[in-house]
Structure 1
């Protein structure tokens, strides 16, 4: 698969969850983490997110360099009133993997597999660096096709989410991947005052 270099950025609770039982996935980490979040965006040609995360966090996927804004949905259903579609920024690409997305003004629709979409971003739109910000279902799919090159994590030791079904990085507890994915730790930074650690990994 010829595709962009793909990175992830997530915050994890002390027990390895990316959301609370109630589904809260943002706004619970430090100001330093939020600054890191925005720095990582600036390095990308395109930003990638699943529809559920887009809606839960009311994301607009903006950055100074106006990266492509890519949203994925199995059903292809998107809410035209969402702030994403009314906020200036980079071109918006919508992928429906099971059903073609309905046309929304000033967007580009795609109907294909996730792997095919990644290839098209690279080959047809010149995307060299793609940055994913959630959610767990999308990360699971990316891991299944072994398309993750870099992982950035904020381990937040100050928060314990709990919850049997609260998702980790690759979703709720369930089936294992067909094989392990191996990464090398490339950055470790401990912020004692905030109770957080910044970690970065690169594909081994």
Structure 2
């Protein structure tokens, strides 16, 4: 599969779990984490997010250089009133993996698999793609073994928890097709906020 280099950014709670978009409180991490989020977007040719995360966080995916703004949905059911579609920025590409291709003026619609979409982005000149969630999209990228870098904010001040709560690779009982080996390349504890910034690089 021809694809861009892909990085992922996520915040995880004290036990390594992620929250569902329905349960995640707004602004639950620090201002430092928000600044890091913006920093990680720099240099990306495209930003990628799942529709649930886009809607829950009211994201516009603005970044310096106006990277492409890409959103994945199973159903292709997008809200035309969402701020994304009314905020200047990079070209918007919408992917429906199961439902009909979305028809929203000013956007480019795609229908098919995530793997095929990644190949399409590569043909559009995207060399670096940065993903900001949600969990289902992260799981799919991990299944494809398409995550080259993982950036985590470990938020020790918050506990979503629960035996069945998902991690970035899904719920505990749902294993990936094979193990993925990553090297820790950045460790930045922030005692004043109860957070730690971690970065991992895929070993191939």
- Tell me the TM-score normalised to structure 2 length: 0.95
Aligned CA-pair RMSD:
1.5
Say yes or no: does 1:110 pair with 2:110. Answer: yes
Task: Report the CA distance shift for 1:84/1:165 in structure 2 as closer, same or farther (over 3 A).
Answer: farther
* Equivalent runs, 1:81-160 vs 2, <5 Å: 81-123=81-123, 125-160=124-159
- Tell me the TM-score normalised to structure 1 length: 0.95
Return the alpha-carbon distance in structure 2 between the equivalents of residues 39 and 16 of structure 1: 23
- Structure 1: state its 5+ residue gaps: none
Shift of 1:102: 2.5
CA contact (8 A) 2:47 2:68 kept: yes
Return the alpha-carbon distance in structure 2 between the equivalents of residues 174 and 100 of structure 1: 31
SS of aligned partner of 1:122: helix
Return the alpha-carbon distance in structure 2 between the equivalents of residues 132 and 21 of structure 1: 15
SS of aligned partner of 1:140: helix
2:199 counterpart residue number: 200
Return the alpha-carbon distance in structure 2 between the equivalents of residues 117 and 197 of structure 1: 33
Task: Report the CA distance shift for 1:29/1:2 in structure 2 as closer, same or farther (over 3 A).
Answer: same
Return the alpha-carbon distance in structure 2 between the equivalents of residues 101 and 88 of structure 1: 22
Shift of 1:169: 1.0
Shift of 1:131: 0.2
Task: Report the CA distance shift for 1:23/1:167 in structure 2 as closer, same or farther (over 3 A).
Answer: farther
1:5 counterpart residue number: 5
Shift of 1:36: 0.5
- Structure 2: state its 5+ residue gaps: none
Q: Give CA-to-partner distance per residue, 1:161-201, whole Å, 9 cap, x none.
A: 12344332123343211111110000001111111111000
Return the alpha-carbon distance in structure 2 between the equivalents of residues 66 and 160 of structure 1: 35
Shift of 1:56: 0.8
Return the alpha-carbon distance in structure 1 between the equivalents of residues 48 and 2 of structure 2: 17
